[in-house]
Amino acid sequence: MRIPEKRGGFPGNMEDRMKKSIAVLASGRGSNFQAVIDAILAGKIPARCTALITDNPQAYAIERAKKAGIPVRIVDYTGFPTREHYEQALLFAMQEVDADLYVLAGYMRILGTSIIHTFSGKIMNIHPALLPSFTGLHAQRQALNYGVKVSGCTVHFVDESLDCGPIILQRCVTVLDGDDEDLLAERILKHEHECLPEAIRLFCEEKLVTDGRTVRIA
């Protein structure tokens, strides 16, 4: 399903078309997606958002995209007989969008090898922990259970390992006495909303240089 593009926050003039294009993959409420939209509209990211791709037809991120005039592609995971069929459809959707950068902002599925190879160096993810610690789901809960004193968020490039790609940016959050999973997640999320747009900006300005596992800011 594709919702037609609307005019509004993302005009189609020549200057806009010369900017790098980004597409966002999200599965849920899309608060990080909204942070990216807001940063683009404020002129903080020199890019245009050309699509939201979601595996969840009920995701609130769809409403955010519609309000911003961003086309939506729904690749509903439940509509495919196998994961392989879903991955093929997702790969096709991403190829059709043909973005310079694909941003995973609360996308709750692991990307297949074919997608990662096709878009090597062009997929970015935000994770609510200081990687390489606490990969996967419920990172905030893992951090609390381990008893760490500092947590945070990480933006990284995506490779074949779960949450283990080259790190672009990190932000630290102090773990307070009395924190539960929700309280810690809320404080980390505020930093996610700053960290992800900043990493996207650096990419779009071609200031990220990857050397093995090290990402340097030029």
Whole-prediction pTM = 0.92
Task: Specify the pLDDT at position 8.
Answer: 39
Alpha helices in the chain (DSSP H): 14-17, 31-41, 61-68, 83-97, 113-118, 139-146, 181-204
Three-class DSSP labels, 18-49: CCEEEEEECCCCCHHHHHHHHHHHCCCCCEEE
| 65-83 pLDDT per residue, tens | 999 999 999 999 999 999 9
Return the amino acid letter for 27: S
pLDDT band at 180 (very low <50, low <70, confident <90, very high): very high
Task: Inform me whether the pLDDT recorded for 152 exceeds 70.
Answer: yes
Per-residue confidence band for 18, with pLDDT thresholds at 50, 70 and 90:
confident
Cβ distance 112 to 136 under 8 Å?
no
Does the pLDDT value for residue 9 go beyond 50? no
Residue listed under structure tokens 């961003």:
70
Is 156 labeled as catalytic in the residue annotation? Answer: no
Q: Does the pLDDT value for residue 164 go beyond 70?
A: yes
Mean pLDDT, range 29-36, rounded to an integer: 98
Q: Which residue has the tokens 């995209």?
A: 65
Residue in 85, 117, 127, 156 annotated catalytic: 127
In this prediction, residues 133-146 reach a mean pLDDT of: 98
